[in-house]
Structure 1
């Protein structure tokens, strides 16, 4: 049997470069404002179907804070816009919701603090352009939200693209296994920003904070001991229980956990077996995820040996065509596979399960997880952070795609950087127009930001 011919990095770079004839890099700047007749509110309402009804107003409440928070909660809009845009044709595993707040630090299995993409609810195979364009637009909106100048906003988007392009070129020259094992540690970031006092100080504070972000540290804050053992404390509307469903919940959890165990590797199954479920409660998270079925589960190996797991509903990705049957038989599996493929390292408890007609994925809660406080950024901080996000995205796409082809298309000049910044500014303008439409829908009563007490609070199991 003859083996397939090996395609060299040089050949793949040439193929990537040839794709510029199909789509010149300057064309990546294009965004034509969509027709005003398109009903974006209907699209938002459709994407919120089957969420917990009483929590949908909470989502809209969080989205209504600013154009940036609206953008975070309305991933469906840009996903549909990007689906109609021209692309080079190089596919990767895409994050699907690659805005700057979906990056952060968390623990590797070796207990090293790493920086990476940390949200994969919308992950799906797609063109590499989709992620970098969403990142660019989010940087412009964040800069505007902070009141930074147009120059700073433009520079942030441009530097993210430049970092992505330059790092992709580096990953393209690596051996496959070296690129696969690559990760961005806190020490890598400290070395990279050793001459930037502001960023260095922030990194040191985050490293210290991460040490206190674990199950044992959050137990006093999130739980209380009582006659029935340790329980998660209610803090409505963020965390709350449904005592009237206790019997059904207990039965559902037993079956659910058995499914979850089967999704883990045998040694992780044995590790999980050291813990016993004590309690669970609904946990409202994020902006775009509000209304999805998400809860915290408290497990104990001993009175002073806790494990918190986050169980989060996995729905059809906004990147997948809404028509027809999904290509994934289990949306939780989609999230887990995408996350493992894109991240440098992933949580050892990452798995999936199904409850009734709902799919879920499971991971540790606050396992040294830290995120940036965008509302404290200085202009130089935002630009510096943009370069790190571009770096992390390039690493993820290099692992989950053809780095040589992407690098061949991008080239060594700043043509793509300029084009991406122009697109990001134009799309940020579109997002602001959409935000105005969203606010009008709230003022008219079409959308509500006031939760209806007691409505639709069915338990997720």
Structure 2
């Protein structure tokens, strides 16, 4: 493929995003966060239970959960994307996760009965997190999750470099995933790694005194994700004195689409909002991040570790689908519950249980939302595919 020059990126990124979204209903759903909230905003105000105002992911789908390592190297599944993080209603995360699982089930040709049971177990897993007091995991991990965690735990820098198509020299070869930088971008990145805040982050991660300037071995524009195709994103190979190279991800922080509580006190700067969300929802990752500005854009800087992986689950297996829903809802529930005292947890559990029938463990509000959203997204997905085939949506 011809690698676009910096001035030609926008057209190619739009084309690639449209191509990814045409692959499946689940892929389309991941790329249309705005449609999700547009639909919710068009519904009755009492459609969802009113939860406590806490930090939420705001875009809580399967691809935004995955193994992460903490400072001591322990790996666990956590929320791993905070672009949409705001202080708001935790029900938004629950519905978004439920819709993601339902879309994955449809794409996996699983019968509707499986989706019904998935939503029941999703609620059970989430509520279990609200009840639990200790840190010990009490919800069974599905085999697919166990495999992902083992793979993350055994992943080395060399393997990460290979999977990210980074040379062992080390260098970043230009191609499908990495594009060249302009001289202005190179200069801006060099300035960024001279800032006190970023230098302090690197020094903290490397456990040494903040007394040396790291060396940029290589850098490139990073073509990564689906909904994130468009905002600035850079991969930087960094060398600090006496240490192995590290891979730094620099990503533009854009305005959140998720609605926030009216009286929420959040940073006005988007990168600082993302950082606050990460530190409340997944502290292990939040401690590896720092906000900054790059050429007039708000960005956040984070070190990627070999153990950091997303859950790449486009196909759900019948045997694991139900336990997957229960466990992932438990993971999200732990992040939410960590921000609540016991009285707030109890009240939130009571609120979640309203409109629950004896014949169905999942409350009617959740089932109704998922059914209507899937129908809404299916219509949007098919229309996207029609435009894509006809050329109305740009193709690469």
TM-score (norm 2): 0.83
SS of equivalent to 2:308: coil
**RMSD of equivalent CA atoms:** 2.9
Q: Which structure shows the higher helix fraction?
A: 1
Please say which structure displays the higher CA radius of gyration.
Answer: 1
Give the conservation status (yes or no) of the 8 Å contact 2:214–2:240: yes
User: Which of 191, 194, 198 is the matching residue for 1:261?
Assistant: 198
CA apart distance, 1:284: 1.3
Work out whether 1:218 is the aligned partner of 2:160: yes
Classify 1:61/1:307 alpha carbon distance in 2 versus 1 (closer, same or farther; 3 Å): same
- Find the partner of 1:158 among 111, 120, 125: 120
Residues 1:107 and 2:62 are matched in the alignment: no
Once the 2 structures are TM-superposed, how far is the Cα of residue 140 of structure 1 from its aligned partner? 1.0
Rounded to whole Å, the distance in 1 between the matches of 2:185 and 2:16 is 24
Change (3 A) 1:57 1:269: same
Q: Quick check: 1:116–1:344 contact (8 Å CA) kept in 2?
A: no
Task: Say which of 171, 195, 205 aligns to 1:231.
Answer: 171
State yes or no: 1:206 paired with 2:148: yes
1:386 Cα deviation after fit:
0.7
Structure 1 residue runs of 5 or longer lacking an equivalent are: 1-50, 194-198, 451-461
Change (3 A) 1:356 1:432: same
Q: Give the direction of change, closer, same or farther, for the CA distance of 1:417–1:166 in structure 2 (3 Å limit).
A: farther
Aligned residue in 1 for 2:22: 64
- Report if the CA contact (8 A) 1:216-1:304 is conserved: no
Give 1:68 shift.
1.1
Residue 411 of structure 1, CA deviation: 4.2
Match of 1:430 in 2: 376
Displacement after TM superposition at 1:426 (Å): 2.3
The answer for unaligned runs of 5 or more in structure 2 is 1-8
Offset, 1:77 = 0.7
Match of 1:440 among 381, 386, 395: 386
Matching residue within 303, 318, 327 for 2:257: 318
- Give, in whole Å, the separation in 2 of the partners of 1:255 and 1:143: 46
Please give the TM-score of this superposition, normalised by the length of structure 1. 0.72
Asked if structure 2 preserves the Cα contact closer than 8 Å seen for 1:92 and 1:128, the reply is: yes
The 1-side partners of 2:145 and 2:35 are apart by 34
Q: Quote the offset at 1:444 in angstroms.
A: 4.5
Q: Structure 1's 265 and 366: CA in aligned 2 closer, same or farther, altered over 3 A?
A: closer
Q: Give 1:372 deviation, angstroms.
A: 3.4
Matches within 5 A, 1:219-368: 219=161, 222-224=165-167, 230-236=170-176, 238-242=177-181, 245-246=182-183, 248-259=184-195, 260-261=197-198, 264=201, 267-268=204-205, 271=208, 273=212, 275-301=214-240, 305-320=244-259, 328-346=267-285, 348-368=287-307
Report if the CA contact (8 A) 1:116-1:392 is conserved.
yes
